[in-house]
Structure 1
Amino acid sequence: MATLPVTHTRLHLPGTAPTPKRPVRLVARDLDASELLAAHSHVWGQVTYALDGVVRVTVGNSTWIVPPMRAIWIPPKSLHEVATLEKAKLRALYVHADASPFKGEECEVLEVSSLLRELILAFAQVHSGEERETMLSSLILDELARSGTQPIRVALPDDKRLKALCELLIADPASPLTLDELAARVGASSRTLARLFERELGMSFSQWRQQVRLAHAAPLIARGLPLSHVAAELGYASQSAFSAMFKKTFGQSPTAFFANKVA
């Protein structure tokens, strides 16, 4: 999978900051593939959601692949970066810090219910100062607080050599390259990299690679691809091998796990 050139996109739009009277604001961006909202932060929280398309959200030492059935809650003041993996209709909800639907300073992976999706679509159509804006804001905050899913988080390292290796596999999860072959590309021995995986990420190379492949599975399944195609796209030898790894990780088969998430 070739990495496309990255286009940087303007981060903040004027007049979109949430306030105590207007605690939820929405910014709509239709982005092409490989656009980048470079690392930035703000005093309000943000729900990053794409109506269509797939985005990658990176906060600190974690990254998430986010399909349309999921969103990411990013707490206030968190440095974050958003990149499009394919053409995407990005809908960012800015939430005033005092109205945050979540406690703590950790990102939350949210399951986007049919109701939440419809609320976001409706909110995009309201005008400033309308009573409907206030009502929809309250409903959105309530629905966000009720949302939840099993996060598929991909940990990122600090070591530059290991991070370069990780970026290669995130860009091409089906890559058949071994740790020895990848080590030659990033200028480190496989033994050194194996130690770094355990020390910085708390897991082996093979365990981390499985995380990446599973993270990429959700967007493919959301597109309606047969599981046999998903398995092949992600480098598994067979559909049964993919399903077995998925069930081992999440306790359910892919079909059962996504039954109510891709409708």
Structure 2
Amino acid sequence: MSPTRQPDQPPAGAPRAAVPPAPSPPSPAADGGGAPPRQRLDGPTDRTLTHRERIDWHFHDQHQLVHPSRGVLRIFTAGGAWVVPPHRAVLIPAGVAHAHQAHGSTRMRTLAFPRSTDLQRTGALRTDRPTVLAVGPLLREVIVALSDAEPAAARSTRQRRTLEQVAIDELRRVDALPLLLPTPADDRLRALGALLHDDPADPRSLAELGAAVGASERTLSRLFHREVGMSFPQWRAQLRLHHSLILLAAGSTVTATATACGYAHTSAFVEAFRHAFGTTPGRHRDPAPPPDRVTPRRSPRPRSG
């Protein structure tokens, strides 16, 4: 049985850039729902998700490669959230419970690989949690070729396996992108995180936020390093970048996104975005489409006489 899909559209006419991203879905255990269901993967898929549509918690017996060719995906696990920009991909290891949420109209293509598939070569891919990946032109074309229904149906088993092996070879040499926002376990860090998820532009210092959640600055600083492996400024910067991707997918301007994410100057936001994602927020929001396949044209016949 497929996991539940839940559209969550903003009211008509509402300024979507002002709508904060929905909070992370609670884990099944925290929600009293028990273990998440197993979802069977029968092969590549190509589906469209509406803005804020969710796919509830589930897991697979196979590794799954998820590639949003349009829109932004957030992937949730018990350990944190990953944001997957367009033209990137995320590898979700077999057995890892997860949920999805789309931001903006999102086209989601997926491939599946048996659990026994060895995807490691450079060590970039994790087997215990998702990994967001850079997708080069060859891997992108293979994902499209395998997930497009009509061309895929016409291919022989040998042709399909050849393309799958190309995808595996490409995955073994990809670069991982640092797009994880870890989820802390401590209740005080969770309360602090909820405040910043509601308003990423909140300018309060760690000491001021600590006063709001009932903990000292020193205690919170120690907890951040111990539970999420980064400092509070690093964690807040990552949260703001996550938020910016979601706002851009919803149609927000670069300037409005910078303000909503707490940047005093748009130029500072552009530089932070470029450093994290390798492109500017303007180019990310309005990417140039991949070049169309060019069909060779026949040479004109010479005219007689």
Same-fold call, TM > 0.5? Answer: yes
**Cα distance, 1:156 vs. partner?**
1.4
The CA distance in 1 between the partners of 2:108 and 2:195, in whole Å, is: 25
CA distance in 1 between counterparts of 2:65 and 2:253 reads 30
> CA shift at 1:231, angstroms?
2.7
Which residue pairs with 1:114 in the alignment? Answer: 137
1:186-232 alpha-carbon deviations (Å, 9 max, x no partner)? x5345454443243224433321112123444566789987545533
Q: Which of the residues 81, 84, 107 maps onto 2:99?
A: 81
Q: What does the per-residue CA deviation read over 1:139-159, in whole Å, with 9 as the maximum and x for residues that have no partner?
A: 222222232243222121012
Pair 1:201-2:228 in alignment: yes
Q: 2:163 aligns with which of 122, 136, 139?
A: 136
Cα-to-partner distance string for 1:37-90 (whole Å, 9 max, x where unaligned): 233222211112212111111234232111112111122212222222333222
For residue 70 of structure 1, what is the aligned residue in structure 2?
88
Post-superposition Cα deviations, 1:114-148, rounded to whole Å, max 9, x if no partner, equal: 33222222212212873442332222222222322
Query: For 1:169, which of 196, 207, 212 is the aligned residue?
Result: 196
Q: 1:121 to 1:212 in 2, by over 3 A?
A: same
Structure 2 unaligned spans of 5+: 1-18, 26-35, 289-305
- Aligned match of 1:37 in 22, 34, 55? 55
Shift of the 189–93 alpha-carbon distance from structure 1 to 2, 3 Å rule, reads same
| Runs of 5+ unmatched residues, structure 1 | 18-24
- What is the CA deviation profile of residues 171-192 of structure 1, one whole-angstrom value per residue up to 9, with x for unaligned ones? 643344555665576x534545
Deviation at 1:237, TM superposition (A): 0.4
Equivalent in the alignment of 1:22 = none
- What residue is the counterpart of 1:188 in the other structure? 214
CA contact (8 A) 2:241 2:273 kept: yes
- How many equivalent residue pairs? 248
Query: Could you tell me how far apart the structure 2 residues matched to 1:224 and 1:243 are?
Result: 16
Residues in 2 aligned to 1:226 and 1:87: alpha-carbon distance in whole angstroms? 17
Question: Normalising by structure 1, what TM-score?
Answer: 0.73
Q: Which amino acid aligns with 2:77?
A: V
